[in-house]
Amino acid sequence: MKARISSSIAKFLAASMTCIVAAIMLSACAVRTKAVPAETAYTAESTYQKLRASYPFIRIASQTLPASVKLLPDLPYVRHGDKDLQLDLYLPVQAKGAGFSVNPANPVRPAIVLVHGGGWRSGSRDNLGAMAIRLAERGYVCAAISYRLSTEARYPAAIHDVKAAVRWMRSHASLYHVNPHQIAVAGGSAGGQIAALVGVTNDMANFDIKAGGSIASSAVSNTVSSTVQAVINIDGLSDFTSEEARRYEDDPSKKTTAAGAWLGGGYAEKTAVWKEASPLSHVSKDTPPFLFISSAQKRFSLGREEMMAKMKALGIATKHVQLPDTPHSFWLFDPWLEPTVDAVSAFLEEIFAVKR
């Protein structure tokens, strides 16, 4: 009798332990598969944690607002359904150092639309706040924008959104003292690729917001131009289709790559789309001047050399600045943000050398 009771107790305990272990494993799985919000999956802080061991001297660039810059946050610039996309506008109160001095008789400044990175599926406009502040200190009106990520809308939705932001900036030029003939677009990583594609598709209807979406304010008209007069691509791809690019962006060991998720499928099934989304494919005599700023990690700026060669053959101004010994996302950190801003400002001063 005792033996049967002991056996029953042992079986009960074994079953209980099995349930406990199973519950723990299920709980662990739940933790591992918990979705990370797109806005927080790629931030300066998360990137800093990954880089600090290899680059112990870096610091996250400050977003403390100086007296020389005014911030107008959360301004809606385009609506999709019942959702407004927003931008943060950084206005120079008083420029310091190199940059543009304003003629009191014609107080307008060049503007820059800033596009954040994050593999087309994550990141937020907050990531470019520090860059926007430092550019505003140089005399530029800067708009750091949100756009639809691949988790919400695939390519070319982000291109439509950035062009809508350019149109918003031009429509509000008089209100914010912007020169409507001097608007640039700049971005880092995926944002650099998006910015480049926006620039090389100036006046191409199938890439414009007119193809979808609605303007958030009645003060913005679809008839206003979305063209840009300069592009800054910071460590972003220029060509998705090269064999080297596809080794990373179409990696067969991954179920879905970041590029594949954005473009709606892998290279084999969406070859035409991968080519169409490559800025290199659209270089023409109408392409605006380009500045490329790259890290020491070649894979992120593949296609740049070929694109620059095409532009030079067409007589289009283009320049490349490489920051040596830098990781990807270098523009989020000091000491690298300042030389990045120096390069952007110097390039735009040259391109926008207009007496005012």
Could you report the per-residue pLDDT of 250-274, keeping only the tens digit for each? 888 888 899 999 999 999 999 999 9
pLDDT at 206: 86
pLDDT above 80 (res 36):
no
Output the pTM of the full model: 0.86
pLDDT at 4: 47
pLDDT above 80 (res 59):
yes
Q: Is the dihedral of CA 236, 240, 244, 246 positive or negative?
A: positive
Mean pLDDT value across residues 302-329: 97
Edge-to-edge order in the sheet of strand 141-145: 214-215, 69-80, 83-92, 141-145, 109-115, 178-188, 230-234, 290-294, 318-322
pLDDT at 101: 54
Least confident of 30-34, 40-44, 155-159, 240-244: 30-34
pLDDT at 295: 97
The tens digit of pLDDT for each residue in 72-128 reads 999 999 999 999 999 999 999 965 444 455 556 567 999 999 999 999 999 999 999
Mean pLDDT value across residues 131-160: 97
What's the pLDDT band for 294 if we cut at 50, 70, 90? very high
Q: Determine the Cα–Cα distance for residues 336 and 348; give it in Å rounded to an integer.
A: 19
pLDDT above 50 (res 281):
yes
pLDDT above 80 (res 13):
no
Number of other CB atoms surrounding residue 109 within 10 Å? 25
% pLDDT > 70, the chain: 81
Q: Determine the Cα–Cα distance for residues 47 and 165; give it in Å rounded to an integer.
A: 27
